[in-house]
Structure 1
Amino acid sequence: MRVALVLTVLAVSTLVPPPALAQGAGTAAPASAVEAASPAAIARLAERLARLAEDGLDPRHYPIPPAELASSDPGRHRAETMRAAQAALADLLLGRVASLRGRVDLRRDPAAVNLAGWMSDLGTAREPAEVIERASNLPPDAAALKAELARYRALAAAGGWPRITGDTRRTLEPGSTDAARVPALRARMAFIDPAVAHGAAADSPVYDERLLAAVRHFQAEEGLETDGRVGAITWTALNTSVEEKILQLRVALDMRRGQPARSTERRIEVNIPHYRLRLLEGDRVVRDMAVIVGRRDRQTPMLNVRMTTVQFNPPWGVPERNAREDLLPRFRRDPAAMQARGFRLYQRLDGEVVEVDPTTVDFSGYSRTNFPYFVRQDAGDANALGRIKFVMPNGDDIYMHDTPDRHLFTRGQRAFSSGCIRLERPMELLAEALSGTTGWDRTQVDRVLASRATRSAPLARSIPVRLHYTTVIVEGGRVAMRQDIYGLDAEYARAMDRAQNQRLASADGGAGRNTGTR
């Protein structure tokens, strides 16, 4: 279930007007503060603002006056440069995108930033460009992200890498011969490992060992299965353009601005595009496991909730959409097999719910828009929820659970569910969740699971759960990027690039923002 994203951007009012507007405005900074920097320092400030692209921002959003204005009207040049700097500083500190509908995972804490202090520093600094530089390096991982952004911008300036054309629907197998796709693949891999270009003639049609090693390295970097087989998912990753990578890095930098202090509470964080769950205590990773998330047409929503209960041997009340789109075709093919897997069919007649034998129903007469039954699956080994369900109350009916489809965890991209989170190692999370809950040691858990009876255990300590969407992470100083599977980075970037300039807060540097659009 995806809620359409509608941009809600917050703005702030002008801080330092040009001299012509200062009289009577009541918002201008003191003249002594404005005059602190020399004309040469103001020129250096303008030059630093012109390089905001290295911070992921677009310099065109901050109207920097032309250099020649410094000669013809130095007062105006100073005021306009400072105003542009104030707008840039606010975005560098608080993030250009304040919020987006549906993105409760975006975190901002303007109160923690002390915008007033930064604005004061900017206005009184002898080298205001240094204030901009300091602010640009505040976000977590800024150095690594900016270095990666510079690398991709250099690639883009050189023309980027070639797009692989031809039939990318068919899998290219190691050792095979393909006169069209192998040379194109070799040209693409040369951007990752230049030695590939020297391993064989550029137009060689053979998928050789050196090319295979490069493809496996690429798959590992992209978080894909490292089998060297180039199928639809690897083709898509290969054809992700330099510009798309730049976009993701710009978003990653902006999302990290204005962050609140990191929680010290025990908590669960699920990064959707990286398909990972982490149980954290402060900065310490207690548990780390793979997850399966919602596919593109049934996206996992971003949530900030609390896990409150564990349910053992859960039945599955099949959502209407799943019943119509996923189960109806299977009932048509073999209703007896569905019955054997614990699926029960129900219908409401005269106000009462009655169970219907699926082997007596002619399913060919029903469609996605006409299916009067609802479906439930009994608890058991074949149940879609597995043997354990972790309840975290929310309006989207999203929860975490076990799954019988264990083989899917070997995949690199794991967007297979209808929105809920499937867990690679549910028993490990269970042990942590039940910690401190009286009467639920491992012996009791095993006894209840073996009974196949549905039981619930309220947790002694509920656990905060955050489902977030972060395609770019930094670990050990290395940047790891994943596909923008839901297009949310693209949505965020469009919000960043709206052309109307934001307005700054008040003359005293207040950090409050007023609702507006840009």
Structure 2
Amino acid sequence: MRTLLALTLLGAAGLALPPAHAKVPASQAVMHAVQGTEALLRLAARLRRLTEDGLDPRDYAIPADTLAEADPAAWRAALKQAAGAAVSDLLHGKVRDLPGRVDLRRDTAALPLAPWMAELSTAPEPATVIDRAALLPPEAAALKRALAAARARAAAGGLPTVPPMPGTEALEPGTVDPVRVPALRARLAATDPAVAAMHPEDPLVYDEALVAALRRFQAAEALEPDGRIGRMTFAALNRPAEVTIRQLRVALDMRRAAAAPGAERRIEVNIPHQRLQVIEAGRVLLDMNVIVGKPARATPVLRTRLAAVMFNPPWGVPERNAREDLLPKFRTNARAMMEKGFRVFGFADGQRIEIDPTTIDWRSVTPERFPYLIRQDAGEANALGRIKFVIPNTEDIFMHDTPDRQLFRRAERAFSSGCIRLEKPMELLDIALQGMAGWDRARIDQVLEGRQTTAVTVARPVPVRLHYTTVTVEGAEVRVRQDLYGLDEAYARALDAPRLPRVAELRLR
């Protein structure tokens, strides 16, 4: 019966069997019956499993197998169209353009569709073409495994939840809690075999063994591994499986046809992971923690260059920082703010004048009515530290040193007003000034000790990319960080939007 059906399909398509050595033109998007009906049915089955690749099979109008006998020509045409669209999205990504995401670049020209479409038409097992396209992006295999595991957890009812503590309280080691401790034990046992094998003397006590397991969980989630369960740890414990699934789907689609980085030296800042790396020819030259913008003052994604370095920079405080951050401090102790180098300016007769902050009634000043400009002089207490790295952009974002060194020991470091604070500014400075005559460490120390503001243009500007990648693959581990600014969720909405045919696909049909 299937042999007869294959011959019927061949006749309906008006094709003769091609010689084994014949090449099918890329523009001839027709599946030859030489592939066999069984192979085409396996192709249809593979297309229905596009969920394992983070795609929705419903986007591709996969024809029912029953149509193969009812209308062979229509079935073949619909299957060809579905397979072509799937290959296009697996190679080039379903989401091609997302407003504001300048950190994402696809190089679709490096993966032309025509050879893939030709192979899809002639391969004895066209389902294997789908498999290869799905595994082509870097790290796709690891991400697909993580996605399958997340889907399995969701199908099993998700992970147990742990009721949060009231208000801002944390669950401390040694606490006896008949509600939260058993729930925590069940939650960790679902992903940590060591917890599942525990036989606690008192299951209601947050004991040392459970604290150790929680610390392992915190470390894997890039949280402070202190064993205390506060707001962020509760949120990580209770993250719905569906959220992780959406982030992994986004991660897969983001990597499709992603433009390969060049060999030149570049600076990469991963905002959700709060890390900076300097990379050259595939080697990591510098790796450090950074502090990024809090959700209310997000660090923007950018592509720019490190153009200049400023030693002993003053800080012209942005109006929002002055109104929301500094006003309460001036109200508390205006003299202490003066001692930290803060200066206040107002306007009289159209002229800017400096005002002694101790003479201002700060209680009468409100965030809505803030008629002052604030500047902080260069110095040890300056919020920008001793070095500012200028990366031209319209958002007034830059990278800089900071006097608050202790914050880099925190696992979660979204504390800034948008700019990037650096754990190792001197190491980045050495890289920025490398090869510039006269700028050795001795001269740098001399300039810094001089306390004078000095700007230096970098001889070889270094490309800088501030990107938003919540999911990373480190060895065999897939790390999923919190979607700090909701950019993954925005991408997921675009991924779930109805699919429109691409111009290139239309040409190939």
Asked if these proteins are the same fold (TM beyond 0.5), I'd say yes
Q: Which amino acid aligns with 2:282?
A: D
Partner of 1:259: 258
1:475-494 to 2 correspondences below 5 Å? 475-494=474-493
Question: Is the 2:390–2:399 Cα contact (8 Å) retained in structure 1?
Answer: yes
Equivalent of 1:157 in 155, 158, 162:
155
RMSD of the TM alignment (CA)? 1.9
Q: Post-superposition shift, 1:262?
A: 2.4
Partner of 1:120: 118
Partner of 2:342: 343
Q: Which amino acid aligns with 1:154?
A: A
List alignment gaps of at least 5 residues for structure 1: 1-18, 21-26, 511-518
1:374-393 to 2 correspondences below 5 Å? 374-393=373-392
* Cα distance between partner residues in 1 of 2:176 and 2:197: 18
Q: Post-superposition shift, 1:202?
A: 10
Partner of 2:134: 136
Tell which deviates more after alignment, 428-437 or 31-40: 31-40
Question: Is the 2:29–2:117 Cα contact (8 Å) retained in structure 1?
Answer: no
Tell which deviates more after alignment, 57-66 or 417-426: 57-66
Partner of 2:35, secondary structure, is coil
Deviations 1:418-440 (A, max 9, x none): 00000001111111111011221
Select the structure with the greater relative contact order (CA < 8 A; seq sep ≥ 6): 1
* Cα distance between partner residues in 2 of 1:310 and 1:202: 60
Q: Which amino acid aligns with 1:128?
A: P
Partner of 1:4: none
Q: Which amino acid aligns with 1:76?
A: A
Q: Which amino acid aligns with 2:76?
A: R
Q: Which amino acid aligns with 1:269?
A: E
Tell which deviates more after alignment, 273-282 or 189-198: 189-198
Of Structure 1 and Structure 2, the greater helix share is in 2
* Cα distance between partner residues in 1 of 2:458 and 2:199: 61
Q: Post-superposition shift, 1:36?
A: 4.4
- The answer to whether 1:459 aligns with 2:458 is yes
Partner of 1:103: 101
Partner of 2:76: 78
Partner of 1:289: 288
Partner of 2:310: 311
Partner of 2:183: 184
Residues 30, 170 of structure 1: alpha-carbon distance in 2 compared, 3 angstrom cutoff: same
TM-score by length of structure 2 reads 0.92
Residues 159, 33 of structure 1: alpha-carbon distance in 2 compared, 3 angstrom cutoff: closer
Deviations 1:123-179 (A, max 9, x none): 222222111111001000111111111111111111110122242531111122112
Residues 202, 131 of structure 1: alpha-carbon distance in 2 compared, 3 angstrom cutoff: farther
Deviations 1:385-420 (A, max 9, x none): 000000011100100000011111111110000000
Return structure 1 stretches of 4+ with deviation > 3 angstroms: 27-36, 200-203, 500-504, 506-510
Tell which deviates more after alignment, 160-169 or 85-94: 160-169
Question: Is the 2:161–2:184 Cα contact (8 Å) retained in structure 1?
Answer: no
Aligned residue-pair number: 486
Residues 31, 180 of structure 1: alpha-carbon distance in 2 compared, 3 angstrom cutoff: closer
Q: Which amino acid aligns with 2:419?
A: C
* Cα distance between partner residues in 2 of 1:485 and 1:33: 46
Residues 114, 503 of structure 1: alpha-carbon distance in 2 compared, 3 angstrom cutoff: closer
Residues 203, 102 of structure 1: alpha-carbon distance in 2 compared, 3 angstrom cutoff: farther
Tell which deviates more after alignment, 86-95 or 198-207: 198-207
Residues 391, 254 of structure 1: alpha-carbon distance in 2 compared, 3 angstrom cutoff: same
Partner of 1:227: 226
Tell which deviates more after alignment, 286-295 or 364-373: 364-373
Indicate the percent of aligned positions where both proteins have the same amino acid: 58
Deviations 1:103-137 (A, max 9, x none): 10111011111112212221222222111111001
Q: Post-superposition shift, 1:508?
A: 4.6
Partner of 1:404: 403
